[in-house]
Amino acid sequence: RPKLPEINTLSDVVSLLRNSENILVLCGAGISTSLGIPDFRSEGGIYERVQARYPFLDDPQMLFDLDQFLVDPRPFYEFAAEIFPPEEALRKPSFCHRFIAQLERSGKLLRCYTQNIDGLERAAGISRTIFCHGSFDTLRCVKCNRSRAICEQDRHQIRRGNVIYCERCTGEEALHANDKRSSLDDGLASDSEDSCGSDGFDPEPVMKPGIVFFGEPLPQEFFDSIEDDLRRADMLLVIGTSLQVAPVADMPRSLDASVPQILVNREVVARARIQFDVELLGDCDFIVRLIAELLGWSDKIGDTERC
Ligand code: OAD
């Protein structure tokens, strides 16, 4: 894809944002690092930490491998404590999250495709979000397949690194029927008796968060929206991702060549082999705050103390 000759500068980006009506945002772990949540591939990021803590894993990505989880969910849950959003982050997501929310309030956001599993897009009120790699918002028992929404008590357990077991399979549900059920089974819950482990393997009744592990398909909502969104988009804004995981990483290449593509990231994403029209390199909260100021949006986005 050749670069568009008329889009070169920060002020071109601001004009584009002013004039676009169907903006696709594609974001990744970089938009949450200012909240203390590590990204995956940077120095000191999740994969480096996993490697140091679990040297017996051949590849740090195995922490997010379904078979590994079924055999032993403890490493995942121990580590989840380090990447689960703190209370404060849920109350006040990053400037980037809040900027994307403002794009939506302005009627400019076609969709926010996030690879993040921290659920902060929901916390920021971005309703047009596709959670491409799922999120912690739901839990499903790997034994009885029952699914339910995460509750405050689960959050507490995850932050302490504890494995969450299925109340139904362990019989805990009956014990806590009166004080727990109402908060657990909110609108997201759905029951199914399909049992996994049909190949003879009988897993422990562990609740697996609704994040997409390697070996699992992306959520159906991704496939339901992507084609139409790629057709309708009039601008692509990529923020805080190394664009290394397909199929999300293929989105820029799948857009019509005439659609402007902007990158906001600490580094170029060379491995993705994409020709962006403008690459704004640096801290994404800082850059996006500058853009918000140039758009006259600072007041709408509110307190900018994090930047
Ligand atoms: P990565 O860790 O691969 O990339 C994060 C990118 O954000 C890097 O290029 C960083 O330089 C950049 N970055 C970090 N902090 C930043 C900041 N404050 N300002 C600007 N840029 C910053 O994370 P993702 O691309 O999101 O998949 O990873 C994609 C997927 O790979 C994840 O969803 C996960 C992982 O395997 C699954 O878990 C299925």
Q: Check if 133 is active-site.
A: yes
Whose alpha carbon is nearest atom 25 of ligand 1? 241
Residue 224's contacts (CB-CB under 8 Å, 6 or more residues apart) are: none
Classify 177 as helix, strand or coil.
Answer: helix
Q: What is the CATH number of the domain that holds 104?
A: 3.40.50.1220
Q: Is the CB of 77 under 6 A from ligand 1?
A: no
pLDDT of residue 171: 80
Supply the pLDDT for residue 162: 95
Q: What percent of the chain has pLDDT over 90?
A: 75
Gap from CA of 271 to ligand 1 centroid (Å): 13
Residue 46: inside a domain: no
Predicted confidence (pLDDT) per residue in 84-129, tens digit: 999 999 999 999 999 999 999 999 999 999 999 999 999 999 999 9
User: Residue 165: how many CA atoms within 13 Å on its side-chain side?
Assistant: 11
Q: Which atom of ligand 1 is nearest to 29's Cα?
A: 26
| In-domain check, residue 165 | yes
Q: Would you say 209 and 8 are in contact if contact means Cβ atoms under 8 Å apart?
A: no
Cα 73–chain centre separation: 21
β-pairing, 129-131 vs 109-114, is parallel
Same domain membership, residue 227 and residue 119? yes
Say if ligand 1 is within 6 A of residue 289 CB.
no
Each residue of 246-270: pLDDT tens digit? Answer: 999 999 999 999 999 999 999 999 7
Look at residue 27 and tell me if it is in a domain: yes
CB 114 within 8 A of CB 132: yes
pTM, two decimals, is 0.89
pLDDT for residue 271? 73
Looking from the CA of residue 214, the nearest atom of ligand 1 is 39
- Number of independent structural domains in the chain: 2
Claim to verify: residue 188 and residue 227 sit in the same structural domain: no
Give backbone dihedrals phi and psi of 206, rounded to 5 degrees, phi first: -100, 145
Are residues 115 and 148 both part of a single domain?
no
Pairing of strands 207-211, 235-239: unpaired
For residue 194, the CA-to-ligand 1 centroid distance in Å is 35
Q: Shortest CA distance to 108 belongs to which of 246, 216, 16, 32?
A: 16
Q: Which of 192, 211, 230 is the last residue of a domain?
A: 211
On whether both 63 and 180 belong to a single domain, the answer is yes
Write out pLDDT tens, residues 209-241.
999 998 899 999 999 999 999 999 999 999 999
Give the residue ranges of the annotated binding site: 141, 144, 169, 196
**Binding site membership of 37 for ligand 1 (Cβ less than 6 Å):** no
Q: Are residues 10 and 74 in the same domain?
A: no
The answer to whether residues 249 and 303 belong to one domain is yes
Beta strand pairing call for 147-149 and 134-141: antiparallel
Is the domain of 115 the same as that of 146?
A: no
Quote the ligand 1 centre to 120 CA distance (angstroms). 15
Q: Give me the phi and psi of 180, to 5 degrees please.
A: -115, -35
ipTM of the complex: 0.99
C-beta 244 within 6 A of ligand 1: yes
Helix/strand/coil for 256: coil
